[in-house]
A and B are shown apart, each in its own frame.
Chain A
Amino acid sequence: MSSIIARVKQKQIADLIAKGKRLDGRGLTDYREVKVEQGVIERAEGSARVLLGKTEVMVGTKIEMGKPFPDTPDEGALAVNVELVPLASPTFEPGPPNENAIELARVVDRGIRESKAIDFEKLCIESGKKVFVIFVDVYVLNHDGNMIDASALAALAALLNTKMFNYEIEEDEVKIKPGYTPLPIMKHPIAVTFAKINDKLIIDPHIEEEQVMDTRLTMTIDDDGNVCAMQKGGTGYFTPKQVLEVARIAKEKSEEIRKKLKW
Chain B
Amino acid sequence: MSRKHEKLIDKKGLRLDGRKPEELRPIKIEVGILPNADGSAYIQQGKNKILAGVFGPRELHPKHLALPDRTVLRCRYHMAPFSVQERKSPAPSRRDIELSKVIRESLEPAIFLEYYPRTGIDVFVEILQADGGTRCASITAASLALADAGIPMRDLVTACAAGKVDNTIVLDLMDAEDKKGDADVPVALMPNFNAVTLLQMDGILTLKEFEKTVNLALEGCRKIYVMQKEALKAKYVSVKEVKE
Give residues in A with beta carbon < 8 Å to B. Answer: 99, 102-103, 105-106, 110, 113-116, 215, 217, 222, 225-240, 243-244, 247-248, 251
Contact = CB atoms under 8 A, between A and B. Distances in A.
B185 A105 contact: no
Nearest to A104: B98
B201 to A, nearest CB: 4
Contacts of B200: 230-232
Interface in B68-103: 94-95, 97-98, 100-102
Contacts of B66: none
Contact of B94 (A105, A115, A226): A105
Interface of B: 1, 94-95, 97-98, 100-102, 105, 108-109, 185, 190, 193-207, 210-211, 214-215, 218
Contact of A237 (B190, B203, B207): B190
A235 B101 contact: no
5 contacts: A102-B97, A228-B205, A230-B185, A237-B193, A237-B196
B196 A240 contact: yes
A44 B211 CA distance: 41
Contact of B203 (A114, A239, A247): A114
Given A99-B101, A226-B205, A243-B199, 20 more contacts: A115-B204, A116-B204, A215-B105, A222-B204, A227-B205, A227-B206, A228-B202, A228-B205, A229-B201, A230-B185, A231-B201, A232-B199, A238-B195, A238-B196, A239-B194, A240-B214, A240-B215, A243-B214, A247-B207, A248-B207
A119 to B, nearest CB: 13
B197 A226 contact: no
B215 A228 contact: no
Contact of A227 (B196, B197, B210): B210
Contact of A226 (B109, B196, B204): B204
Contacts of B198: 232
Contacts of B218: 240
Contact of B109 (A231, A235, A244): A235
Contacts of A228: 201-205
A239 B210 CA distance: 15
Nearest to B210: A227
Q: Which 9 A-B pairs give the minimum distances between C-beta atoms?
A: A230-B201, A237-B195, A232-B199, A235-B108, A114-B202, A237-B197, A238-B196, A99-B101, A226-B204
A183 B83 CA distance: 37
A110 B95 CA distance: 12
Contacts of B1: 114
Nearest to A222: B204
Contacts of A236: 109, 197
B94 A247 contact: no
Contacts of A233: 102, 105
B4 to A, nearest CB: 14
B31 to A, nearest CB: 24
Nearest to B101: A99
A115 B201 CA distance: 12
B146 to A, nearest CB: 15
A36 B101 CA distance: 31
B180 to A, nearest CB: 10
Contacts of A222: 204
B101 to A, nearest CB: 5
Nearest to A246: B199
Contacts of A116: 204
Nearest to B184: A114
A251 B214 contact: no
Contacts of A238: 195-196, 199
A186 to B, nearest CB: 12
A215 B102 CA distance: 12
